[in-house]
């Protein structure tokens, strides 16, 4: 097959992990006879420095023309002033809105060989296999914002269709797995959460009567993710809660550097990125873990291009590399020597079959 991919390396370690991810993509293309044409574009702080805009017109046009988008990371100390009128994170919000991707899919599956890298006790990690679905284009991040010397406000709004469509995504995924869906809200306090719960109940009863649905307050969910994570199957929640819970869930896997994500809309064109940030403290040192980016590319091959065998081959190569004791510093622990970003990718490519 042939496909056009927009690549947005961004800031910090973003360019490093994008480079390694594309090396794996090239290896897959060679083995399976595909052609992936990549168009590299600016986003985030790098785009601000070059154009004054965190999501320039050229980037917008390239993403609109692409079959999928790969994103590295944005941000860093240079652009860290939260009061600045133009910030790198605005580029990501504009990108998501431009692509009309509303469902962020973050799998959290534990590789047995990595239980020693997690800060969570190993006996809590057995059987952990979770998918977190985060609503991505609504809620407090996109609501009207006001501020003066004495007051600030962020408006949280959800419309019925926004809740219904994200619940449908989550319920369908649950139906392909263990048939369990946990909807996370704060319905004891927030009107938007009571609305979310009411719409969820009606949608599930009308369209997915065979799926087991549980409603859980976000503070309880945060606790149970640590105490009994294996009891969750598919979790679905609104934008801000999902942002926080998925970062927490990444610690189950030992490092944020391990986990991928996909953001999807109504079409097969998706946005694929590791969940980690720009990690400016290690940028340019060859220390970044490329696994999250490489696994994100595996998700791209499966979800946007329908290449299940190629996706599975990448995931198996990551697993076997870890099982063979090859680790970057963030997951090496005390029992393993560590390799760098390039060395980790080399080992994964060697195990592609």
* Residue 78 falls in the annotated catalytic set: no
The C-alpha atoms of residue 70 and residue 294 are separated, in whole angstroms, by 11
Candidates 26, 58, 141, 180; catalytic one: 141
- Give CA 342 to chain center in angstroms: 22
Strand partners, 264: 103, 270
Which of the 8 DSSP states describes residue 17?
H
* 237 within 8 A of 135, measured Cβ to Cβ: yes
* Residue 335 falls in the annotated catalytic set: no
Candidates 26, 116, 129, 243; catalytic one: 243
Contacts 24+ apart (CB under 8 A), 149-157: 156/190, 156/192, 156/240, 157/192
* Residue 247 falls in the annotated catalytic set: yes
Nearest Cα residue to 180 out of 219, 251, 245, 129: 129
DSSP secondary structure, 198-235, as one string: HHHHHHHHHH-TTSEEEEEEHHHHHHHHHH-GGG-SEE
* Residue 219 falls in the annotated catalytic set: yes
* Residue 308 falls in the annotated catalytic set: no
Candidates 58, 129, 154, 247; catalytic one: 247
Helices (H), 140-282: 160-175, 191-207, 218-227, 239-250
Candidates 186, 233, 272, 330; catalytic one: 186
* 20 within 8 A of 83, measured Cβ to Cβ: no
Q: Which residues are identified as catalytic?
A: 141, 186, 219, 243, 247
């Amino acid at each position: 097959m042939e496909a056009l991919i927009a690549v947005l390396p961004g800031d910090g370690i973003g360019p490093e992990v994008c480079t390694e991810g594309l090396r794996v993509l090239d290896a897959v293309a060679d083995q399976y006879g595909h052609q992936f044409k990549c168009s590299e574009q600016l986003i985030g702080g790098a785009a601000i420095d070059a154009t004054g805009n965190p999501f320039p017109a050229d980037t917008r046009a390239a993403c609109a023309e692409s079959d999928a988008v790969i994103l590295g990371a944005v941000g860093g100390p240079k652009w860290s002033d939260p009061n600045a009128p133009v910030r790198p994170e605005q580029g990501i919000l504009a990108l998501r809105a431009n692509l009309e991707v509303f469902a962020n899919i973050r799998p959290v599956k534990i590789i047995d060989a990595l239980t020693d890298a997690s800060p969570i006790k190993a006996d809590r990690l057995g059987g952990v296999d979770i998918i977190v679905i985060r609503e991505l284009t609504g809620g407090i991040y996109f609501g009207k914002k006001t501020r003066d010397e004495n007051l600030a406000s962020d408006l949280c709004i959800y419309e019925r269709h926004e809740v219904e469509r994200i619940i449908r995504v989550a319920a369908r995924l649950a139906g392909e797995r263990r048939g369990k869906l946990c909807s996370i809200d704060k319905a004891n306090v927030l009107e938007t959460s009571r609305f979310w719960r009411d719409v969820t109940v009606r949608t599930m009863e009308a369209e997915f009567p065979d799926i087991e649905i549980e409603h859980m307050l976000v503070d309880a969910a945060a606790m149970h993710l640590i105490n009994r994570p294996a009891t969750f199957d598919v979790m679905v929640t609104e934008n801000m809660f999902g942002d926080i819970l998925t970062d927490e869930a990444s610690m189950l896997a030992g490092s944020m550097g391990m986990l991928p994500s996909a953001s999807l809309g109504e079409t097969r064109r998706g946005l694929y990125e590791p969940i980690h940030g720009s990690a400016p403290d290690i940028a340019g040192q060859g220390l970044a873990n490329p696994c999250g980016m490489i696994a994100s590319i595996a998700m791209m091959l499966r979800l946007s291009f329908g290449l299940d065998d190629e996706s599975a081959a990448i995931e198996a190569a990551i697993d076997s590399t870890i099982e063979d004791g090859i680790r970057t510093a963030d997951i090496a622990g005390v029992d393993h020597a560590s390799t760098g970003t390039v060395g980790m990718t080399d080992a994964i490519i060697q195990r592609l079959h």
